[in-house]
């Protein structure tokens, strides 16, 4: 849920269900293989983070994943990708049902990602920022051999600083521009967005990843916005100073990540475009979905190896996605 204040500024409702799933179960929800189901949409950048982190850490066999369709109505995300329109594990047609099972009459955002307790059918949390951190820190017993350290203790202060700035000016900044209700609010968001992208370009001109020479949580969070920039945010949200493909450092950085196992193989460009252009009828009343841009450019050489670095640190790349979790043919980058 979100709103535009009297000054025309977009405000995101960040009142999430903050219950945590932890190794010691202090909130009443201990980490247990098979007990929980991660609900996502491949269209959503916030959910895309959880998809990537789950893949990188190798949690597919202990935390199942349900994928909602790319569009939703005012009530909630729906499971229209499943044959009978129901999630095969939870047996529900709408994510809303899991929220109402936990809190009848729940009046805040029905958002993805959300983690649902399978035995009770109740949502545990939809706190997207904490979900990925907890997958890294609380689910360690079930990480695959060779899983990367995405939130290492010695880098947490730096990662947190980067994440705070990126969220405010970039992740949420594109929405602040796209949904602005006045010219002034739009231009303020636009200027902050591109000032931050310029600063990130400077940072990434001398280091391969945001927090040094290995992939961290910070890279996951920036990537899911960058990969949507040219297909959606540049035109749909009027973030049009330059396309990502016209920002050399960020474009090379984004392609480097896209071509890294666990990143690009989670991206569904068809779902991404369908979501934004079909759902946001106030911005796109015709509901016409653009045919472009060409996605084959995501597979071109990026040259970032020259900066050194070890993508997974002392770890290893994740194996290919499981057959039931692969992006549909023709929905990813075209070779």
Residue 324, token pair as written in the block: 């039931």
For the annotated binding site, the residues are: 77
Question: Dihedral, CA atoms, 51, 121, 272, 4, nearest 10 degrees?
Answer: -110
The highest-level CATH class for domain 155-325 is mainly alpha
Whole-number pLDDT of residue 187:
98
For the annotated binding site for glutathione, the residues are 77
Contact criterion met (CB below 8 Å) for 223 and 324: no
Entry pTM: 0.97
Residues of the chain with pLDDT under 70: 1-7, 335
Known catalytic residue at 239 = no
Region of residue 232 (left: phi > 0; alpha: psi -120 to 50; beta: else): alpha
Q: pLDDT at position 199, please?
A: 98
* The one catalytic residue among 29, 36, 44, 186: 44
Please state, in angstroms and as integers, the Cα–Cα distance from residue 94 to each residue in 38, 124, 226, 260, 272, following that order. 14, 16, 29, 33, 19
**Three-state DSSP class for residue 274:** helix
Contact call for residues 72 and 47 (beta carbons, < 8 A):
no
- Candidates 151, 175, 253, 277; catalytic one: 175
Confidence at residue 73, expressed as pLDDT on a 0 to 100 scale: 85
Comparing CA positions, the residue from 299, 318, 317 lying closest to residue 256 is: 299
**pLDDT score of 2:** 59
Q: Which CATH superfamily is domain 2-142 in?
A: Glutaredoxin (3.40.30.10)
Per-domain residue ranges of the chain: 2-142, 155-325
The string of DSSP codes covering 134-167 is HHHHT-GGGPPTT---SS-GGGHHHHHHHHHHHI
């Amino acid at each position: 849920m979100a709103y535009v204040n009297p000054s025309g500024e977009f405000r995101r409702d960040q009142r999430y269900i903050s219950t945590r799933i932890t190794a010691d179960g202090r909130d009443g929800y201990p980490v247990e293989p098979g007990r929980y189901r991660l609900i996502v949409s491949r269209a959503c950048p916030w959910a895309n983070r959880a998809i990537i982190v789950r893949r990188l850490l190798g949690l597919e066999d202990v935390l199942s994943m349900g994928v909602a369709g790319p569009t939703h109505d005012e009530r909630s995300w729906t499971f229209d990708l499943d044959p009978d329109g129901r999630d095969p594990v939870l047996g529900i047609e709408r994510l809303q049902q899991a929220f109402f099972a936990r809190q009848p009459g729940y009046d805040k955002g029905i958002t993805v990602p959300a983690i649902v307790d399978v035995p009770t059918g109740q949502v545990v949390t939809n706190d997207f920022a904490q979900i990925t951190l907890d997958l890294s820190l609380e689910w360690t017993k079930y990480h695959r051999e060779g899983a990367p350290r995405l939130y290492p203790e010695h880098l947490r202060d730096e990662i947190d600083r980067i994440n705070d700035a990126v969220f405010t000016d970039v992740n949420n900044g594109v929405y602040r521009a796209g949904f602005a209700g006045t010219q002034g609010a739009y231009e303020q968001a636009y200027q902050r967005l591109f000032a931050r992208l310029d600063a990130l370009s400077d940072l990434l001109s001398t280091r391969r990843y945001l927090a040094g020479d290995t992939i961290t949580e910070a890279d996951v969070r920036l990537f899911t916005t960058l990969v949507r920039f040219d297909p959606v945010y540049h035109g749909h949200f009027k973030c049009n100073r330059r396309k990502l493909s016209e920002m050399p450092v960020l474009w090379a950085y984004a392609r480097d990540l896209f071509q890294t196992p666990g990143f690009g193989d989670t991206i569904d460009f068809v779902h991404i475009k369908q979501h934004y252009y079909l759902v946001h009828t106030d911005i796109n009343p015709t509901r016409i979905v653009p045919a472009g841009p060409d996605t084959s450019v995501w597979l071109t050489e990026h040259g970032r190896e020259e900066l050194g670095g070890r993508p997974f640190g002392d770890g290893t790349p994740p194996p290919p996605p499981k057959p039931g979790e692969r992006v549909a043919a023709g929905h990813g980058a075209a070779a």
